[in-house]
Structure formats: C-alpha cells, structure tokens
Amino acid sequence: MLAQRQSSRPRLLQAVIDAFRQPDLRRKLLYTFAILVIFRFVAHVPVPNVDPHQLKELFKNNELLGMLDLFSGGAMRNLSVAAMGVYPYITASIIMQLIIPIVPRLEQLAKEGEQGRNKISQYTHWLTPPLAAIQGYGQLILLQNEGVIQNVGLSGDNLLPTLAMVISMTAGTMFLVWLGELITENGIGNGVSIIIFAGIVAQLPQMIGETLLTKESALASILSSGMIAFMVLGLATVFAIVLFTEAQRRIPVQYARSLFRGGRMYRQSGSSHIPLRVNSAGMIPLIFAMSIMIFPGTIASYFQDSGNDVVRGVADFVNGLFNATGPLYWSLYFLLVVGFTFFYTMVIFQQQNLSDNLQKNGGFVPGIRPGRPTGDYLTRVLTRITWGGAIFLGVVAVLPFFAQKVVSVGTLQISSTGLLIIVGVVLDTMRQLEAQLLMRHYDGFIR
C-alpha cells in the first residue's frame, strides 16, 4: 500500500521526501535555508543618509543599476551594507583565473593539488576587499550624482562618513562570501551561486505583485498581450538555457593498460568519453563583459563634477556612450560576451591539459595520435562547438534590449542573465542532491 502511494507521487516530490527522510541530508538542507534567511536579513540593513524614494525612482529608470542589483540580490535597491553582493569576490576569482597562466608561481600552485588550490583561494580572498572598496566608492559617487545620497567624498567633513559607508559595504560583501562558504562546506550546492540565486528569486514575488497592481485588474493583467508575450519569452529562454547548458560533444576515448598477475602480463582495454560542453564558460563571460561595460561609466562618474569644462564634457560623453538604453551599448556588449566566451573557455581548457593526462593514463582518441595531435584535435572540436555557446550567451546578454521593444511589461525586470543563473544553480544543486540520494540507493531528480 505504501509502495503504491509512493509510486503515484511525482518523481521530483518523492525525491524531496526521500531527501528529508535522511537525517544528514535534512540537516544540510535546513542549514542552507537558515543561512539564506540570514542573508535576506543582512540585505535589508541600510547605509545611512539615503533617500529611499529617490533611490526607488532611480532603479525604475536605470537599467544598468538594475543589472547590478541582480548580483546583489536586491540589496543594492535598498542600498544596504550588502549592496555589492558577492560580485567583487566573483571579479577577484575571474582575475585570478586569468592571471594563473601568466604568472609562473601561480601556475605552479595550480598544479600542486588541493594545497595549491587553497593557496590560490586565499589570494582571491585577499584581492576581494580592495576591489569591494573601489566598487563601493564608485557606486556611492554614482548615486550621489543622481541625488540619492549626500556627503560622499574623500576630503573635509565628508571623509569619515564616506569611509564608514565604504567599510560597511566591504564588510557586507565579505560577510556574504563567508556565508556562501559555510553553505559549500556544510550545506547543499555552491554557496556563492546559491546566494546570488536566492537574491534573484526573492525579488520575483515583489515584481509580479507590482505588475499585477499596475493593471486595472489581476485578470486583465494576466490575459494582457504583454504579459502573455513575457511568459512565452520567459519559457522559451528557460528551455534554451537548459538545452545549451546540458549540451555536450562526447569524444570517445579508449584505454589500454598492462596488468601483471602470476608472473604474466595481461593487456586490458576499456572505453570512455570526454564531455566537451557547448557552454563551458557558464555565466562568467556575461559577468566579465558587464564589468568592462560598467568600468568606463564608473570612472567617468568621478569627473562629472569637475571644475574643468573639458574634463566634465569628456565625462558626460563617456556616460552617454555607455548608456544601457542605446543599441551601441548592447552591440558592444554582445561582441564582448562572444569574445570572452572563447577566451575563458580556452584558458580553462589549457589549464586542464587533457592531451597529456590522457597519454599518461594510457588513453587515446581512436584515429588520433597521442600527445600534441590529440591536443590539436580537441582544441579544434572545442572551438567549433564553442561558437554555438558564445552566440547563445551573446543573445542571452542582449535579450532584455529586444524584449523591451516587444513586451510592454515594464515592472518585470528580471533579465535573461538572471534566468541563466537560476537555471544553472538549480541544475547544479539537483546534481549534487542526486549524487547524495544515489549513494543511499534512492532515485534522485534526474533519471
């Protein structure tokens, strides 16, 4: 009877029930949830001297700030101590990954196994506070120019209040990084990614509610052409994200090993494959391209109040050029995403050194000579399939620009980048929970 009831339940629901029946998995899930509750409390601790009404209006009219708010989990919309989220830590991680092949000492550490990775992680943590301080000060200057906050500066009576705000925002970022690492160590999933995921999801009820309230009635809102088009576009985007995230090219590999038994040598052979993903870079190119696009405007904001007319004019021109409402901005954003997808994919591929590892373990690709020919073949295949992933990420990056031209739902501002993060984190967390369930002989989420 119990087995019949279990078999009639949906597979996903049954897997969740099985997970909560295991004491250790239940503890991990509840621990992760508790950390996320703490994160949401911190996201509502505000920085002083803020005009909430002006801040709300600014985020309604500035899409670039909306994209920044995406990575802070709504904390920037409140200008809380966690306004920068874990974004400076992500930037530091990207910088470290890019300079590892350039700096011999770091490259040597990367090859030293767990100890070397821990040392690189320590360097990443050291790099995060100065990046957070620079970004925090830039955000305060930008918001001061918009009239949201006052008394920001590094001279006179503004020095101490500014330092207090920058230090508070930097401490908030490091606190969120610490919470993410606690989730990674004691919970389920990648902690930093789950922090970002939780922030995005937490904004959905408010955005949907605002959309319904802006219409004459809830039913008219749901049945409106703009809402229907938004739902169709959202479902199509989620489908495409899952498709490209899971898509891979499997390269067949055969292994030949020699075993000595009873004084005789035996040859054993086996087969496997190398999964080369169409989108090996994940969301990293989007983040890195966005950092490049934000940087000129951030620097220009420092000089908008300059007493020199030429300097002020150049600053205004740069801000206008990198305005997130124009087609030039989005075209450049698309090209940067495509370029960084290839760059980041090749950097990670070179660090893996697959051809040498295959040769050392007696593996080879059928029809391809071991060593450098195998490396050239894998690089050639990876380059071809990465074109699909790069163009896909570029379309994901510029989709909000085209969606606003087609869909008239203005309050639902979650971007395709946010959907990419949500889907990616959900799939990764499901895989980890799947592995935990399979070790205990339960059916998981994915068959």
Report whether 399 contacts 347 (CB < 8 A). Answer: no
Q: Residue 41 is encoded by which pair of tokens?
A: 């409390």
Task: Note the pLDDT tens digit of each residue in 162-171.
Answer: 888 888 889 9
Task: Note the pLDDT tens digit of each residue in 297-354.
Answer: 667 766 766 667 777 777 777 776 766 666 777 888 889 889 888 888 887 787 777 7
Three-state secondary structure string covering the chain:
CHHHHHHHCCHHHHHHHHHHHCHHHHHHHHHHHHHHHHHHHHCCCECCCECHHHHHHHHHHCHHHHHHHHHHCCCCCCCECCCCCCHHHHHHHHHHHHHCCCCHHHHHHHCCCHHHHHHHHHHHHHHHHHHHHHHHHHHHHHHHHCCCECCCCCCHHHHHHHHHHHHHHHHHHHHHHHHHHHHHHHCCCCHHHHHHHHHHHHHHHHHHHHHHHCCCCHHHHHHCHHHHHHHHHHHHHHHHHHHHHHCEEEEEEEEEEEEEECCEEEEEEEEEEEEEECCCCCCHHHHHHHHHHHHHHHHHHCCCCCCCHHHHHHHHHHHHHCCCCCHHHHHHHHHHHHHHHHHHHHHHHHHHCHHHHHHHCCEECCCCCCCHHHHHHHHHHHHHHHHHHHHHHHHHHHHHHHHHHHCCCCCCCCCHHHHHHHHHHHHHHHHHHHHHHHHCCCCCCCC
26 vs 351 pLDDT, higher one = 26
Mean per-residue pLDDT, 10-28:
73
Task: Note the pLDDT tens digit of each residue in 258-267.
Answer: 545 555 554 5
For tokens 């995230």, what's the residue? 245
Query: How many Å apart are CA 72 and CA 66, to the nearest integer?
Result: 10
Of 38-47, 400-409, 429-438, the least confident: 400-409
Q: How sure is the predictor about 217, in pLDDT bands with cuts at 50, 70 and 90?
A: very low
Can you list the domains of the chain with their CATH numbers? 23-215 (1.10.3370.10), 224-413 (1.10.3370.10)
Q: How sure is the predictor about 440, in pLDDT bands with cuts at 50, 70 and 90?
A: low
pTM, entire model: 0.73
> What pLDDT sits at residue 130?
92
Of 299-308, 352-361, 368-377, the least confident: 299-308
Mean per-residue pLDDT, 86-103:
82
Task: Note the pLDDT tens digit of each residue in 95-153.
Answer: 887 788 788 888 788 777 778 778 888 889 999 999 889 888 877 877 777 777 777 77
Query: How many Å apart are CA 364 and CA 355, to the nearest integer?
Result: 8
Report whether 223 contacts 211 (CB < 8 A). Answer: no
Task: Note the pLDDT tens digit of each residue in 41-66.
Answer: 888 887 776 766 777 667 666 655 66
Mean per-residue pLDDT, 14-31:
79
Max mean pLDDT range (59-73, 165-179, 406-420): 165-179
Report whether 382 contacts 345 (CB < 8 A). Answer: yes
Max mean pLDDT range (122-131, 271-280, 329-338, 417-426): 122-131
CA proximity to 333, closest of 268, 398, 377, 414: 398
> What pLDDT sits at residue 51?
67
Mean per-residue pLDDT, 71-78:
65
